[in-house]
Structure 1
Amino acid sequence: MGDPAGIGPEIVVKAFHERPELLRRVVVAGDVATLRRAARVVQADSGLAADGLMLAQLAEVSDFGQVPPGCLAVVQACELPQPVPLGHVSAAAGRAAADCIRYGAQAALDGRARALVTAPIHKEALAAAGVTHPGHTEMLQALAAEHHGLDVKELPVRMMLSCPGLRTVLVSIHVSLRQALQAVTLDQVLQTLRITHRHFGSVGWPHPRIAVAGLNPHAGEGGLFGLEEIEVIEPAVRQAREEGIDASGPHAPDTVFMRARQGAFDVVLAMYHDQGLIPVKLLGLEHGVNTTLGLPFVRTSPDHGTAFDLAGTGRASAASLLAAIDAALLATQN
């Protein structure tokens, strides 16, 4: 359900109001009282009847078959004595969000769920709760590695953001820009290419055309504006191609996203967080989807935050969450 102080619970409820056919395919890991509050907010804003969406509390995901028709199945996945205040960072909210993530991830890892879709969390709330991971991606990576008895470094993951017309995968995620530049190494770029190629193959797309963005303006202009393209990115692309990966580049980062949107490439590999996320969010934040590549299960999420300023108003759109659910369902069909 995401951070209970944000819009996550509301967009969860709204998603099933808008797409009731999903009720037979999805279980919510969350807090029943928080979701009931969200249902009242959404119903009031939408003019729906008070009984427009009933909640059915489950002890476990495995009880899904017992859910009455037309009810939203909810597993009580966290402990909250009472719903937290809306629109405020709190340790209680961060702890609840983290507990729900752990429950959902474990259900996916155990095979009790086919995929995990996560509503937005707040990084400050996670930190206030003592969670050391900066976000979903790192937390899910650690949980999956622990489940399989691996060191985190043995289970590399990457973030892919997509919207209609554009997909981009990131070499580095939630680090400072200085650290992100240091992360542009041959091994990191090549590993990202391999993870991207493997992911698309797993969802029935065996030969994606991967465009690799340069790091420097104009992809370094032959070394005039930096040597990373010559010394790091080109060798990684060359080795990937020798492995049968359809990679090309480095391409000028100021035009490669436009070219991908025009159909020249299927996915763009970006060198750092903002290089890849700015074009995706500019093109379609309301329909953006975040997919974690490299996990042993399908994980998607909406491409937006907790929107504390909208929490409690019922005005938040469920479009991105619905896109994330649809992406998860599509990926698990293969």
Structure 2
Amino acid sequence: MTPPLALSLGEPAGIGPEIVARAWAALRDGGPTFVVIGDARLVEAGGAPVAAVFDPAEARSAFPRAVPVIDLPTAVPATPGRPDPANAGCVADWIARAVDLAMDGSAAGVVTAPIAKAPLYAAGFPFPGHTEFIADLTGDLPYDGTRGPVMMLTARDLKVALVTIHTPLAEVPELITADRVIRTARVVHETLRRDFGVARPRLALAGLNPHAGEGGSLGLEEVEVLGPSAAALRAEGIEITDPLAADTLFHEEARAAYDAAICLYHDQALIPVKTIDFWGGVNVTLGLPVVRTSPDHGTGFEIAGKGVARADSLIAAIRLGAEMAARRRGLK
């Protein structure tokens, strides 16, 4: 029987506890089953009954009646909308515990509720975010494939992967190198086959400049880096386009021509995802030895504790995490 997913509770002063409670209410009858790693009091305050468990194996029997929680209390009480760096260590510990459970096979994969970076940084957290932290935690675990991490966002029929992520726009061109583009495309190609069941992935490569550079008249990146990278990938047997104008890459007819788009910077990827499905997008980390998904939104401090937060994205992340984990285990 497939183990449950391990769900780290995220920022204790954010909407994490509320959306976890709502996700459980939506999934309690049919699953997928998850076990929360975090403060049980916060989940209960979010509006759901709680069952304290000590092992993920206990989660399946508890799930229909309550949220199973491996209870790791916060250092100080959490106030909705008011993050406290004193709880940053707890947030990091919840993520690490969830990853440990996935690495030892006790959990099928990891789902992460949103974190707030400012209080983590104030407490000395040395990683840019979830993605890099989880990559570090899993760094010693063997992995059969091209190593990530690569960030992918999914929404309905669109999958976009990023060559650069939280990078100032002025710094993006110098980071668009052949090595980065080729590695990102390899990771996406392998992941589509292994975790999404796509036998022959078709990749689209976005251009950096307007009109994909117009043959070099509007920028040279397409001529000097992106085009040669695409040619090298095709020589490896990966189906990928030459760089395409990003302004015509994401409409419905265009999306039917590829399985995932390789995008070059944050907004190039996230604007179409959030336009197509603002509430239901999912963040997936590719190229790691554990499955990791997350809702595609932040901590929602401005609405935390008000009972209005929507769990659509978290529910989608849980479902996708379970599907990916099942494929890795050969169960789908």
Say whether the fold is shared (TM-score over 0.5): yes
The residue number in structure 2 matching 1:324 is 317
AA matched with 2:11: D
Match of 1:207 among 182, 186, 200: 200
- Rounded Cα–Cα distance in structure 1 between residues aligned with 2:248 and 2:99: 37
Aligned residues of 2:14 and 2:83 also touching (Cα < 8 A) = no
Match of residue 86, structure 2, among 83, 89, 92: 92
- For 1:254 and 1:24, the matched residues in 2 are separated by 37
How far apart are the structure 2 equivalents of 1:262 and 1:234?
20
Unaligned runs of 5+ in 1: 40-52
Write the letter of the residue equivalent to 1:70: R
Output the CA distance in 2 between the equivalents of 1:81 and 1:22: 34
Q: Where does residue 142 of structure 1 map in the other structure?
A: 136
Match of 1:28 among 27, 31, 36: 36
Deviation at 1:82, TM superposition (A): 4.5
**Equivalent residue, structure 1, for 2:243:** 250
Partner in structure 1 of residue 156 of structure 2: 164
> Shift of the alpha carbon at 1:331?
1.1
Residue 109 of structure 2 contacts residue 292 of structure 2 at CA under 8 Å; is this kept in 1? yes
Amino acid across the alignment from 1:171: V
Letter of the 2:19 counterpart: I
Matches within 5 A, 1:1-334: 1-21=9-29, 25-39=33-47, 53-64=48-59, 67=62, 69-76=64-71, 78-147=72-141, 155-203=147-195, 204-258=197-251, 262-334=255-327
Shift of 1:179: 3.0
Distance 1:303 1:321 in 2: 8
Q: Deviations over 1:43-78 (max 9, x none)?
A: xxxxxxxxxx421111232443663751211012x4
RMSD of Structure 2 on Structure 1 (CA): 1.9
Q: 1:135 to 1:56 in 2, by over 3 A?
A: same
Deviation of 1:123 after TM superposition, in Å, equals 1.1
1:24 positional shift: 6.9
How many residues align? The count is 316
1:157 positional shift: 1.1
Identity score, percent? 41
- 2:108 and 2:270 map into 1 onto residues whose CA distance is 27
TM-score (norm 1): 0.89
The whole-number CA distance in structure 1 between the counterparts of 2:98 and 2:36 is 9
Contact 1:166 1:260 in 2 (8 A): no
Residue 49 (structure 1) aligns with? none
**Structure 1 residues 259 and 244 mapped into 2: Cα distance closer, same or farther (>3 Å)?**
farther
- The two structures have a TM-score, normalised by structure 2, of 0.90
Structure 2: 5+ residue stretches without partners? 1-8, 328-332
Give, as a single letter, the amino acid of the residue that structure 2 aligns with 1:177.
L
Offset at residue 244 of structure 1 (A)? 1.1
C-alpha deviation, 1:148, in angstroms: 5.3
* Distance (whole Å) between structure 1 residues aligned to residue 263 and residue 252 of structure 2: 14
Change beyond 3 A, Cα 1:218–1:156? same
Q: Distance in 1 between matches of 2:298 and 2:318?
A: 16
Q: Contact 2:141–2:289 (CA<8 Å) still a contact in 1?
A: no
* CA distance, structure 2, for counterparts of residue 18 and residue 131 of structure 1: 34
Specify the code of the residue in structure 1 equivalent to 2:45.
R
